[in-house]
């Protein structure tokens, strides 16, 4: 188990290295262009080297799925319903398989389920979702413990981001260290400049991908200036502002015992929508499913909002009350993560939970109340 000081030193080091890497890449960043009329050719060429994933629209809802026909890709979307996190942490993932037939030599032996980790590219991921993957890395990829399936999926994947020119009214990425054109965590960032895409090549992975397609051209200065104006305009459209600067300094126990949690939890129905939509939630449960004499050990998404999540075999539940579960969700995102990893809040400001909460609980409002807490705050 990681000691708190070790986590802090490691997280700080990673953060510094990431900033340095971004700075170095920006200095030598290659900005290319591709006409939209050639974009399908670009994708078809990539298919020879990469498995492609991207936003696909089904019944007016966009999800990130495997792309067989490049015409399925929809880059006109505002945001997907679920983030591409499921490409790295599937909602339900077979981990091991086993058999219970004592007549066989391998009875009761867990065997890892084979998985495909060949090169793949995620096309059109939003900057907020790319940043979310880096925030989740601290749970699955540490100096001491590495989740093999998460790590291999991350290593095999090249992220081609798409700058967000039309942020939702619920977006607040600029308040949590991101932005509609944030480059952090991406290998390539695409900017829609009208009749073409500009591609900012940010990493060696990104460079390898654009060279594999061999269809891009150098971008003219006029297009680069236009992309800068588009970025500034998009940032100006982020109307939601949330303060987080005091969260690290507020005493954890005092915030945990604050009187405003009763008001926050009042309307919650513990449906778990917020956690399932969140790109930075990582909770899971592991179950064995047996069919006859064979079975699978499966990892499934879980939620701290569910009453069964913390239920002990003894029957005791340390979070048996709704208020305890609601408080846990916000304290983890906005306080525990801040204190443990020194990387800011575990939220990218995508606004999904704000849009889809059936009882209108708003993380922006809760964050503001937490940030302003002085032992007398009321929501």
User: What digits encode the pLDDT tens for the residues 310-327?
Assistant: 999 999 999 999 999 999
Indicate if 81 and 228 belong to the same structural domain. Answer: yes
> Of 193, 210, 236, which residue is a domain's last?
236
Angle of helix 148-156 versus helix 127-140 axis, rounded to 10: 150
Give the count of domains, the chain. 2
Q: What is the structure's pLDDT at 375? A: 64
Does a structural domain hold residue 207?
yes
* Strand order from edge to edge, sheet including 284-291: 111-112, 92-99, 294-301, 284-291
Question: pLDDT tens, position by position, for the chain (379 residues)?
Answer: 344 444 444 444 444 334 333 333 444 468 999 999 999 999 999 999 999 999 999 998 999 999 999 999 999 999 999 999 999 999 999 999 999 988 888 899 999 999 999 999 999 999 999 999 999 999 999 999 999 999 999 999 999 999 999 999 999 999 999 999 999 999 999 999 999 999 999 999 999 999 999 999 999 999 999 999 999 999 999 999 999 999 999 999 999 999 999 999 999 999 999 999 999 999 999 999 999 999 999 999 999 999 999 999 999 999 999 999 999 999 999 999 999 999 999 999 999 999 999 999 999 999 999 999 986 544 4
Indicate if 166 and 51 belong to the same structural domain. Answer: yes
Does a structural domain hold residue 217?
yes
Indicate if 257 and 194 belong to the same structural domain. Answer: no
Does a structural domain hold residue 11?
no
Helix boundaries (H) for the chain: 4-27, 39-46, 127-140, 148-156, 204-213, 221-236, 252-256, 261-265, 273-277, 322-331, 337-341, 352-356, 363-371
The rounded distance, in Å, linking the Cα atoms of 298 and 287 is 5
Indicate if 73 and 141 belong to the same structural domain. Answer: yes
The rounded distance, in Å, linking the Cα atoms of 367 and 379 is 11
Dig out the tokens for 378 from the structure. Answer: 């009321």
Q: Where are the beta strands (DSSP E) in 241-359?
A: 284-291, 294-301
Indicate if 228 and 275 belong to the same structural domain. Answer: no
Dig out the tokens for 127 from the structure. Answer: 């900057």
Indicate if 222 and 321 belong to the same structural domain. Answer: no
Domain residues for the domain of 190 are 21-87+119-236
Say if residues 99 and 107 touch (Cβ distance below 8 Å). yes
Indicate if 322 and 350 belong to the same structural domain. Answer: yes
The strand pairing partners of 66, in sequence order, are 53
Say if residues 199 and 32 touch (Cβ distance below 8 Å). yes
The pair phi, psi for residue 244, each rounded to 5°, is: -130, 5
The rounded distance, in Å, linking the Cα atoms of 152 and 116 is 10
Query: Checking phi first, is residue 214 left (phi over 0); if not, alpha (psi -120 to 50) or beta?
Result: left
Does a structural domain hold residue 113?
no
Indicate if 171 and 218 belong to the same structural domain. Answer: yes
Dig out the tokens for 170 from the structure. Answer: 């619920």
Indicate if 144 and 270 belong to the same structural domain. Answer: no
Indicate if 133 and 66 belong to the same structural domain. Answer: yes
């Amino acid at each position: 188990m990681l000691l708190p000081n070790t986590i802090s030193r490691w997280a700080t080091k990673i953060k510094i290295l990431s900033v340095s890497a971004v700075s170095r890449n920006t200095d030598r960043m290659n900005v290319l262009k591709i006409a939209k009329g050639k974009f399908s050719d670009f994708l078809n060429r990539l298919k020879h080297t990469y498995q492609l994933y991207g936003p696909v629209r089904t019944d007016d809802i966009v999800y990130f799925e495997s792309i067989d026909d490049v015409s399925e890709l929809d880059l006109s979307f505002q945001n997907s319903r679920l983030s591409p996190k499921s490409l790295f942490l599937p909602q339900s993932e077979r981990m091991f398989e086993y058999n219970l037939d004592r007549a066989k030599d391998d009875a009761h032996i867990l065997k890892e389920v084979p998985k495909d980790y060949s090169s793949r590219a995620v096309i059109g991921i939003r900057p907020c979702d790319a940043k979310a993957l880096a925030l989740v890395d601290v749970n699955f990829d540490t100096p001491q413990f590495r989740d093999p399936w998460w790590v291999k999926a991350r290593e095999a994947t090249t992220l081609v981001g798409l700058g967000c020119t039309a942020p939702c009214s619920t977006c607040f990425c600029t308040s949590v260290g991101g932005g509609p054109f944030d480059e952090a965590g991406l290998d390539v960032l695409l900017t829609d400049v009208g009749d073409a895409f500009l591609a900012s090549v940010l990493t060696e992975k990104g460079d390898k991908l654009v060279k594999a397609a061999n269809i891009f051209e150098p971008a003219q200065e006029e297009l680069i200036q236009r992309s800068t104006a588009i970025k500034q305009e998009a940032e100006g459209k982020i109307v939601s502002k949330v303060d987080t600067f005091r969260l690290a300094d507020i005493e954890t126990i005092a915030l945990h015992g604050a009187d405003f949690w009763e008001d926050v939890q009042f309307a919650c129905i513990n449906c778990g929508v917020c956690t399932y939509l969140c790109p930075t939630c990582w909770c899971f449960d592991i179950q064995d499913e047996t069919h006859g004499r064979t079975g699978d050990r499966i990892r499934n998404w879980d939620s701290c909002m569910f009453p069964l999540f913390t239920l002990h075999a003894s029957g005791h539940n340390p979070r048996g009350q709704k208020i305890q579960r609601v408080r846990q969700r916000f304290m983890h995102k906005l306080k525990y993560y801040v204190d443990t990893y020194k990387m800011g809040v575990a939220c990218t400001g995508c606004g999904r939970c704000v849009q889809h909460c059936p009882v209108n609980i708003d993380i922006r409002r809760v964050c503001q109340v937490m940030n302003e807490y002085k032992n007398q705050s009321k929501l």
